[in-house]
Structure 1
Amino acid sequence: MKNKIHNHKHLEERRKELRKNLTPAEATLWKSLQRKQLKGRKFRRQHSITNFIVDFYCASEKLIIELDGAYHLDFAQQNYDYERTQILENLGFKVIRFENKLVFENLTEVLKEISNHFRE
């Protein structure tokens, strides 16, 4: 049996806490992703893969969406984000990132870019 990499029990409380306290950008994007609104794809928010909690995850597409605020402009955080992305991509996931402000300024473009990563 292969190792379980999704939603480890030890991260459950943290995932619940993050879901209750979405950032404004996460809440805005979630309104367009929930209930299979984007081309019928099911997304989960604050889903864990290995020991990482990702902002949004679409299992059918193996697609991870990360939203980055000003915090992610820090050099050390950028290095961490890069390494994290490499690990997740090596596990077979596709990771795409958007700056928070893009969600507010051009949500239509963000949704289009997400759906461009769907296998039709």
Structure 2
Amino acid sequence: MTLPEVLLWRELRRRPGSLKFRRQHPFGRCIVDFYCPAARLVIEIDGMAHQMGSEADRDRRRDSWLRSQGLHVARFAVPEVMNDLEAVVREIVRTALSRLPLHQAALGSPPQDRILGRN
């Protein structure tokens, strides 16, 4: 894993928002950076390589295929993760909670400290 992925994994493994995440999760021929099964949310961290050459097209095709499987894809650039990890985690939790089935989402949003994995 890259440094931004390591930093994000350190936060996600604390189960922010009481959500479980997996890292390096396979889908077909794809391996996604992180995955929240309850929300069917894929999280990808994009470095500079994702902006070069044919990588952007490859990412679009891959995202399209993942969406066709009923998944939502959230992409974050490396500078976002490195400069404001807390905001990235908040956005991931907000997105995941908004995708939970109604009976789970109706429980309400957890307090801010729980979203960020703090006690």
Spell out, residue by residue over 1:64-100, the C-alpha distance to the aligned partner (whole angstroms, 9 max, x if none). Answer: 0000001111130000000000000011000000001
Most deviating of 23-32 and 103-112: 103-112
Q: Higher relative CO (CA 8 A, sep ≥ 6), structure 1 or 2? A: 2
1:69 pairs, out of 17, 32, 47, with 47
Give unmatched runs, 5+ long, in structure 1: 1-21
Structure 2 distance, partners of 1:113, 1:101, is 15
Q: Which residue of 2 aligns with 1:90?
A: 68
Question: Equivalents in 1 of 2:2, 2:71: separation in Å?
Answer: 23
Amino acid at match of 2:83: E
Q: Which amino acid aligns with 2:91?
A: E
Matched positions, count: 98
Q: How big is each residue's C-alpha offset from its partner over 1:5-54, in whole Å with a ceiling of 9 and x where there is no partner?
A: xxxxxxxxxxxxxxxxx100000000100042x11111000000111000
Give the secondary-structure state (helix, strand or coil) at the position aligned to 1:81. Answer: helix
TM-score, normalised by the number of residues in structure 2: 0.79
- CA drift of 1:116 comes to 1.6
TM-score under structure 1 length normalisation: 0.79
The residue type paired with residue 30 of structure 1 is W
| Shift >3 Å, 4+ stretches | none
Structure 1 segment 42-57 matched on structure 2, within 5 A? 42-57=20-35
Cα displacement (A) at 1:115: 1.3
- The answer for the alignment partner of 2:93 in structure 1 is 115
Distance 1:111 1:62 in 2: 16
One-letter amino acid of the structure 1 residue matched with residue 6 of structure 2: A
